[in-house]
Structure 1
Amino acid sequence: MYFASFLKKTFTHSVAKFYCAKRMTPSFNPLMFNSYRRFYSAGEDELETSINTICKGNAELEKKLRILMLEVEVMRQDGRCAPNSMNTTQWKHLLDLSSRNQRTNYLTFLWKNEKSRENQKIKKETRRKQFADGVPDQEKEYPDDLLYGIRYQSLFLRIRDQSINNFDNYRALLAMMHSQSLVIDCSYEEHMVWRETLNAAKQMTLVFGDNRLHKEPFNIHLCNVNNDSEFLKQLKKNIPCMEEPWFPMNIHTESYLDIFPREKLVYLTPHCRNELTRFDPDAIYIIGCMVDKTNNEPISLAKAKKDNITMAKLPLDRYLEWAPGSKKNLNINHMIPILLDLKLTGDWEYALRHIPKRKLMETKILAMQKRIKNNPQLKNDVLKNLRKNNFKLSSVNSLPNLKKTNLRRSLYDDLE
């Protein structure tokens, strides 16, 4: 066992050194490494298919791609974080990354996703075995007796998941004919990096699910959509049935100015001064589909001014106490549930329950209380920080005894 491990380690380091030395020479030919076969991941046929699909006869691009494939293989042999298999799209994105640090982070991201899928598969198989072994078969007292239960006959009609899914889609289709319109502006992809684009597509997937599960869903319109954009590709990957004719969502390549009257449009942006104090059922609200972790510029404000559209922001400061340093801009998967509940109830305090708790002062105070309780020596440090931030607290005992309250209720709950 030790001898085999020693041979594997020696071979790995020799390949890595030879690769690093030869990569700097112009006469390096990656084809000479075809003799080293991968014995536990995707086959050579899949790699050659990816190379032919991406390169399309470009010798320089093929050389660069084979070098990257060898680099990933060396990472696998060294035991570093690299996925066992990669598809054509992932190889293409890896080829577009310029620095080694970016490639390492992307491979680590793929490796974590791969391990997460493997763990989910193992847990699912374990639960299946436990269910099969843990439920004993019922014995009949007489041969013609009937058995009742989940595995046998039942007095109740079983409603399958597909039936519930069809019901939710039917309600969303009714909203497309009779409900209030809501616009999602998808023209911000050029202001986002690749990871933010994927995050925006994920948030849009959650928006579609929250909307169709609500009692009174919106008629959602995706405007300024680029059919060749990475955002739409990822969204179609998350929702494979998007291209079906019955899919309950409107997707437009045109601007919202070409579809709706300008006087009814209201752009919701956190950078303006006007507050949305009352929900208008006749207005058409616009929400920008943008993840701005790296770019904090008021782009949505500039676009609303350019289009000469009425602007508004949520009155968050009137109902919530924000923690220091928290951003007051919300994700679209938080904005849509807030507007849905506001449309149904008109109650701001109930609608703002969708605000993430990490942004609120209550969460910070609870964390501070727990920190002092677990380590009383930190009391003086906490008081210094409070005085530094101009909090008027003479002692730690003056902190309110807050309790965690679960304000998130189901969207199906009755509001009477």
Structure 2
Amino acid sequence: MIKTARQVALETLIKVFESQGYSNLSLNSALSKNKLSVKDQNLVTELVYGTIQYQLYLDYQLTGLVKTKLKDRYLRPLLLMSLYQLIFLDKIPNRAVLDEANKLAKIMGRKNSSAFRLVNGILRSFIRRGAILPPKEPLNKYLSIKESMPLWLTDYLLNHWGSKRTEKILTSLNQRSKNCIRINQNASKPQVLNELQKLKINYEESSLSPSCYFVDKPIMKTDLFKSGQVTIQDEAASLVASCFDYHENDEILDACAAPGGKSMQMAENLTSGHVTCLDIHEHKLKLVKNYATRMKLSNKIKTKAVDARKASTYFSEGQFDKILVDAPCSGLGLLRRKPEIRYLKTMDDIKNLAKIQLKILNSVALLLKKNGELVYSTCSITVEENEAVIAEFLKQNPKFEIQAINLPKISSKAGLKILPDTYQSDGFYIAKMKLRG
């Protein structure tokens, strides 16, 4: 049976809600299994990401409209997906949303012939009443519902950045992520930009990195991408590898390498040197190898399946000129791209991750040559995973000292923290350190 776009979206949402998994994996799997037009694929993507992103806000819209427990597993996802269309997708008429919701209720309900009446009644009641919000006081609860952000995380932002900045951060995190590409530094930028023009792909230079551009169309099927002249990388993430002062024969350790974007960026700076890429899982290192093949950098990339916390038992003291720890983190800077993270992470997770991050730093620190450079980064904005980890590391390793970060478009005397609202980029933290000789 050929499934409609909304049925594919609903089944994907059910899977994500029940498994508490990552939406991009479930979505990619669903799109690959179902033959949909490009238009329908775009609709599925919109419905899945949008419904997940605004889950708390959409749940709040059911207040006063649901008089009984929603027992069937598909009912809540169906109602939330329908509400998302009614509230956020102006080009879809209300009658079309109701009609499609009724059809899905009949398909999914099978034996429960009254399910579509329940769905129809709730949605019609919502249309008559309209969207609602809680009172503006207390502010934390209001913002939590309005921006669909868990209360603990809303409180965290308010405690660290105050009400005005928190509102800006929350608003920015619900905006669409940009399509950002990085031009391989071994490629000709004028030729790449000229080719983009020929492909009728509009581009705009990043305000953070001179090698990054925003494009208005996908580039994965272009020869530019396939040949490794460009790759997909957020502008903030591209800054990490740019922090090193390279020599062409450097031996570099990427302690947490997969999928390999930063590994390739570092390798582009080498001629006789190498980047040794670590990951716990062998299958993730295959992603790194494939990445290196596309970027034509395989001769500069080595891989080894190693837990970075145990790296000091696999390599020699002082073996590497430079070390990157792009640490496993909460990913709270990536909420535009992975909206479900906000519902999956807790403060306990952040505290546990901070312990792992410190262990990784302490392990790899032994492998750095004197006067070598160590760069630490996360795609999180929490103090616990960033400034606090670096402060404790420097306390335990007094021979290391923090270094200034001087890049073409941004600089910092100490650690560099990029909040999501500043450049509308991913949230990121970068610290550069040097081992005194």
TM norm structure 1: 0.29
Q: Which has the higher strand share?
A: 2
TM norm structure 2: 0.28
Q: Which has the higher helix share?
A: 1
